[in-house]
Structure 1
Amino acid sequence: MRPETFAEELERAWEERRPIEPLSDRGLKGIEAAYRVQEAWNALRLGKGDRVVGRKIGLTSKAVQEQLGVDQPDFGNLWESRFFGVGERVEVEARLFLQPRVEGELAFLIGRRLEGPGVTPQEVLAATEAVAFAIEIVDSRIRDWRIRIEDTIADNASYGGFVVGPWEKALLEEDLSALGLVLYKNGEPVAQGAGAACLGHPARAVAWLTNTLAAFGVALEPGDIVMSGAWAPVQPAGPGDLFTLVGTGGRALSLRFA
């Protein structure tokens, strides 16, 4: 099946909140083919007036890889229509999503152009303007999350939306791999992790992204936001749920599903 055909299915699922059957069961085979579908869907979104504000890295945590049955990272686009802003308390409409899950991670604000291949974690840190704790909503257009790597890649790395806490330049002076976070759901701790869970260091994940994007002729540009990947298993979300991320130093970020 043509990439554009799968992309149109994903777009309808996104707009109508109706899940579709796994693409990997219907002829989508291989990572390269899956990224062609992702590119075709991105083109549809841009054609409808959406905008790419950065990139997301998925499946960087071994715990998340095991949870979803895949064995390598992937990436997708951060679309402006689902960027819920920068702040400490944010509310989103649960009806926007199909089968959302929530994860905590670190976001990077790129300050200087980064172009692979060969970019190192140290170069990533030098080119980063600021970082912030962030909450990502992952969502799947694939029924019951029955995904293989091809499905999640085609599905824009299971993008749902995201919110970023206050940007901090000072955090770049700390060892990001040693930072920790605890995710609470309705007041109860449900997940915890450290930066080291993200490919050993969050900047290593961003370096991986930069070098992988080079094969597509894409660089990270000043102002881009990069969601570097989850530090702990994702948590299911539904109407009324309140998630609070508490990071090193007592930094807190809350997301409520209305």
Structure 2
Amino acid sequence: MLDTTIINKLTDRVLNAQDHATTMTKLTDEYPSMSIEDSYAVQDELRRRWIARGDRCVGLKAGLTSKAKMLQMGVDEPSFGILMASFSRPENSAIDIKELVHPRVEAEIAFVTKAELKGDLTIEQVLVATDYIIPAVEVIDSRYEKFKFDLVSVIADNGSSSRYVTGGRPRDPRELDLRTIGVVIEKNGEIMALGASAAVLNHPANAVVMLVKHLASRGEVLPAGSYVMTGGITEAIPVSAGDCITARFQDMGSVSFRFV
């Protein structure tokens, strides 16, 4: 692994790009030997600094969990990132486009846990430990120049996470077939993408299973009360100032907001 001095230097670079909505070159351009483990070390340092600023970690996100996203991003495995309270925006709110670099939106099913999760799990164990599921839209925002990156660099950029909006209505996950929930993303009233929730690893709870396994490999657990975004059901949709976004989830309601 890269030493602590380099991890801190890379964290400085990522944090500056995120704070000031500026671009940066792929981290692997300067450090071609950088590993996925190094990228998660950068995430750890990002979380430490955010908490030191007074922010609060509310949960985690799984990314690149659908075939559409894997093809779009040119990767073949999921990644994981941190969700802070400051990333959240209310439904029907206005998101300032000047705070973002390459914004895109994707519709996801979010899980809120009521029990700690650790180790190897089944889907049923995840569902039993889930307080409720709820519709969500993530605004992803890669800070890399010309939108060119690799998996190692993406993970160090916290999975391109920037904002998320939750809406619709909470549902008991055992009341629905979580493989067959239809989702439609509209931009300015025009349908831009549609899909079914099985696109996320055949069942969105599988994203939680993989996340908990990832945490176990690092000696961590998923605490009770965690908010977990399970990954985009469709490809990500580019947005710009003036765009109004609505994501409609079958039997779960919708999420709407706009960019200004």
**Do both proteins adopt the same fold according to a TM-score greater than 0.5, normalized to the shorter chain?**
yes
Map 1:101-112; keep pairs closer than 5 Å.
101-112=104-115
* Map of 2:65 onto structure 1: 60
1:9: how far off?
Answer: 0.5
Q: Is the 8 A contact 2:131 2:172 kept in 1?
A: no
Matched, 1:49 2:51: no
Measure how far apart 1:172 and its partner are.
3.2
Deviation of 1:222 after TM superposition, in Å, equals 1.9
Instruction: Say whether 1:79 aligns with 2:66.
Output: no
Give yes or no for the alignment of 1:186 onto 2:191: no
2:44 aligned residue (26, 39, 47): 39
Check conservation: 1:6, 1:37, Cα contact below 8 A: yes
Residue 25 of structure 2 is matched in structure 1 by 21
Name the structure 2 match of 1:4.
8
Q: 2: CA distance between counterparts of 1:202 and 1:76?
A: 16
Q: TM-score, normalised by structure 1?
A: 0.95
How many residues are matched? 255
Contact 1:130 1:167 in 2 (8 A): no
Q: 1:225/1:115 Cα in 2 relative to 1: closer, same or farther (>3 Å)?
A: same
TM-score (norm 2): 0.94
The answer to whether the 8 A contact 1:131-1:172 is kept is: no
Give the C-alpha shift of residue 221 in structure 1.
Answer: 1.5
Change (3 A) 1:256 1:206: same
Residue 114 of structure 1 is matched in structure 2 by 117
How far apart are residue 171 of structure 1 and its match? 4.6
Tell me how far 1:228 sits from its aligned partner.
0.5
Report the 3-state secondary structure (helix = DSSP H, G, I; strand = E; otherwise coil) of the residue aligned with 1:125. Answer: helix
5+ residue gaps, structure 1, are none
Q: Which runs of 5+ in 2 are unaligned?
A: none
1:129 to 128, 131, 138: 131
Is the 1:130–1:172 Cα contact (8 Å) retained in structure 2? no
Looking at structure 1, the residues matched to 240 and 220 of structure 2 have their Cα atoms a distance apart, in angstroms, of 35
Q: Report the secondary structure of 1:243's partner residue.
A: strand
Q: What is the CA-CA distance between 1:170 and the residue it aligns to? A: 3.6
* Matching residue within 96, 100, 105 for 1:97: 100
**Overall identity of the aligned pairs, in %:** 36
Distance 1:145 1:6 in 2: 18
